[in-house]
Chains A and B, each alone.
Chain A
Amino acid sequence: MKTLLEKFFGKSANGIAVKDKLMTGYAEVAGQEVCVFGTCDGTYIDNAAALRFAAHVLGCIENHSKAPIVMLVDSAGQEPNRTAEMLGLASYFGHLLSCLQLARQNGHKLITVATGKAIGGAFICYGMFGDRIDALESASVGLMPIEAMSAVTKIPAPTLEKLSRTMPSLEFGAKPFALLGGVEEVWSAKDDYAAKLAAAIASANTDDNRAALGKKRGGRKLSLDVRNRVLDESGK
């Protein structure tokens, strides 16, 4: 993990503490202070993890005015757990998202980089909330792999495999996810991550452009148009 963090933040990666596969801290990107948090080694996110991240974001809002917030995602999701559900895991995630929204409203840019697993709930509960979302080429981005989807939907895997050639939403990975507009840019292993991150921070803005991207790239053709039809009909 250390080497990956150094690729993003150079020596300033020292300011990021890694505990129980959860990262929180502050570092520098192109000389600018950034707030960093995220997961590594595909770990699960539970109630306590959500609280730790939320506390970090609140601290950033309070003490590091307008510092961009960089979210790194490598998590397999939430662990199905009786106690977690009873205590309201959804509410813990909702709280984390609310903290991120307050940060956005207070002028913090939100940048996400999917570094490893960015699957289902783990991606939705913070990373997908970024103003700008990028992913490493090697990252496993998406709802779930085709075999898992086949097991749940009872549709044979070969059928899904075949369909995925015309439906990128069924494919699993950073590139097809980018086709849908869910990822702005896919970084290759050869890229200079620090420079990429600096560029991402510079270009991030609070407009959610994913539907437009999905249409432009052809992976998600309907979203923008259907949304605009609703806006038109309701505006009459």
Chain B
Amino acid sequence: MEKFDKTFPSKPLAWPRGKQWALAGVVGSGNLEVLFERNPKAPGKMDCHVESSIPGYKDSWLAALGDFAANYPVGGTKVTIHDQGADPIVVTFRLRQAYDHLKKTS
């Protein structure tokens, strides 16, 4: 198990109202779950916490998370990931799905 935290700068979330949290994916072989939570205290930051069952891939995790924070306005969020060996593409996939959920007002 490898665990790490990292904060990325990101433009503030464009949807100030909406769901407080959103979850995508499941913890299962080759898959992961990602939880987005609103964190109004740090509007210009995406705070990430990753727990991965396969150690040794921190670089590609950071690159994928960094790209996501750069490509989408996700400032003011806390992201927690429980990973069970997902490919990087699945990381991007799930981040995007959870982000789309978070945007939905309901």
A/B contact in complex, CB under 8 angstroms: no
* Interface residue ranges, B against A (CB under 8 Å): none
Interface residues of A (CB under 8 A from B): none
